[in-house]
Copies of this chain bind each other. A is one copy, B any other.
Amino acid sequence: MGALPNHINILLKFVQNLNKTGFLIKLTWERSQNYMNLESIAKLSGVSRSTVSRVINDSPNVSSAAREKVLSVIQQVDFQPNIAARSLAAGKTQVIGLVIPTHITRLFSDPFFPLLIQGISSSCNASDFSVMLWLSEPEHERRMIRKILYNGIIDGVIISSSVINDPLVNALKERDLPFVMVGEPIDKENTNFVDVDNQSGALRAVLHLARIGYKKIATITCALNTAVGISRLAGYEEALHQANLKFDSKLVMEGDFSQESGYILTKRLLVQKPDAIFVASDPMAQGCYRALHEAGLTIGKDIAIVGFDDLPFSPHMSPPLTTVRQPIINMGQMAVEILINSIQDANRPVRQLYLPTELIVRSSCGLS
């Protein structure tokens, strides 16, 4: 935008040379695209650039006459202020970064991330923010961090599923750039995050099974090096305790969120003949269903299943899966809200939010 395009420059040189030969040719030009800037809006509305800027930024010190005039002009010409210029001048861009590590294979099999992205995006749209997406790959991590910190375009960052001692988190802290994590981090001190209350969700699910009367309740856990895995297992144990059932480690299998692990571990569990299984994520419950079908068991009669997530496919499983609903879209929205707040007011206290879950009873555990 700054410089003239090449073909104009070439023409210009050509004309200059002609002029040296004794001719006198004049060349005039203007931009064909109707680029608008504050100055042109100002001219159109009969005020100064500064006043236009004040109107756009909702400054109180503008007469209502001026404000109305400017707003109507902006409306009319469909003006959009240049983010890059604003970034340079003020260091604020209304752009946030969303970082998802790709080593998570869940990204491609589990609708969790699409839903999260959807929540984040819709909330950003509503607040007039934009989203920059980075699927972080280990080999480009250093460069990505550098860009996030210094390219001058990001006001804040949402990070999903960090690892322990994440270099990005450290860099953000050092640089003092606002960020929010989705999913409780291992080291949660002084860190904004949004998560669901995994433990109480799991508690409720398993208690539901116990109240129906199941006695030998097994579980397939999520990866136990994640906060999610740990909390849901803790909920399971607490429920057994409350129901006066005793914990049996042979009934606990550690999965990894994948369908495949649900399939394999269910087969392994069947040796113990459980009468119910709490499968700590719905994709694993899909694998579990497959194993049970192959074993010739009728779900909801021979064995009860409760999942965790309530993803779009869960009501369409056969039989429909009883599961703990996570408000994934809402998590994304809250993450954005917290982030925007701390962008706009750097002194806002740290927020750590656990959203409530809900038990959705369908027919996979024998009721209804």
Nearest residue (CB) in B for A128 is B143
Residue of B nearest to A286 (CB): B313
Kindly supply a per-residue 1/0 record for chain A positions 267-295, scoring 1 wherever the CB is within 8 Å of any chain B CB and 0 otherwise: 00000000000000000000100100110
Chain B: CB-nearest residue to A175: B33
Minimum C-beta distance from A150 to chain B (A): 4
Q: Quote the shortest CB–CB distance from A20 to chain B (angstroms).
A: 25
Task: Mark the stretch among A38-46, A55-63, A87-95, A236-244 that contacts chain B.
Answer: A87-95
CB-based nearest B residue for A87 = B84
A84 to B82, CA, bound (A): 10
Distance from A66 Cβ to chain B, minimum over Cβ atoms (Å): 23
Q: Are A134 and B130 in contact (CB-based, < 8 A)? A: yes
Asked if A14 is at the interface of the complex by the 8 Å CB criterion, the answer is no
Which of B91, B114, B140 meets A125, CB within 8 Å? B140
CB-based nearest B residue for A290: B318
A131-B132, A133-B132, A293-B293 known; A108+B98 contact, CB < 8 A: no
Q: Which residue of B lies closest to A88 (CB)?
A: B84
Q: Report which of B88, B113, B316 forms a contact with A260, defined as CB distance below 8 A.
A: B316
CA distance A39 to B95 in the complex (A): 26
The residues in A between 134 and 158 inclusive whose CB is less than 8 angstroms from any CB of B are 134-135, 137, 140, 143-144, 146-147, 149-153
Q: How far is the CA of A126 from the CA of B139 in the complex (A)?
A: 9
- Interface flag for A1 (CB, 8 Å): yes
What residues of chain B lie closer than 8 Å to A2, measured between beta carbons?
88-91
> Is B130 within 8 A of A132, CB to CB?
yes
CA distance in complex: A109, B312 (Å): 7
State A313–B108 Cα separation when bound (angstroms): 10
Q: Known: A108-B115, A114-B107, A259-B316. Contact between A134 and B151, CB under 8 A?
A: no
Q: Confirm or deny: A78 has a beta carbon within 8 angstroms of a beta carbon on chain B.
A: yes
Which residues on the B side are within 8 Å of A176 (C-beta)? 33
- Residue A199 at the chain B interface, CB threshold 8 Å: no
A28 to chain B, nearest CB (A): 22
A 150-196 contacts with B by CB, 8 A:
150-153, 175-176
Q: What 5 A-B pairs have minimum CB-CB distances, sorted nearest first?
A: A84-B87, A1-B91, A80-B150, A82-B152, A121-B135
Residues of A within 8 A of B (CB): 1-3, 33, 35-36, 78-85, 87-91, 93, 95, 98, 102, 107-109, 111, 113-115, 117-118, 121-122, 125-126, 128, 130-135, 137, 140, 143-144, 146-147, 149-153, 175-176, 259-260, 263, 287, 290, 293-294, 312-313, 316, 318
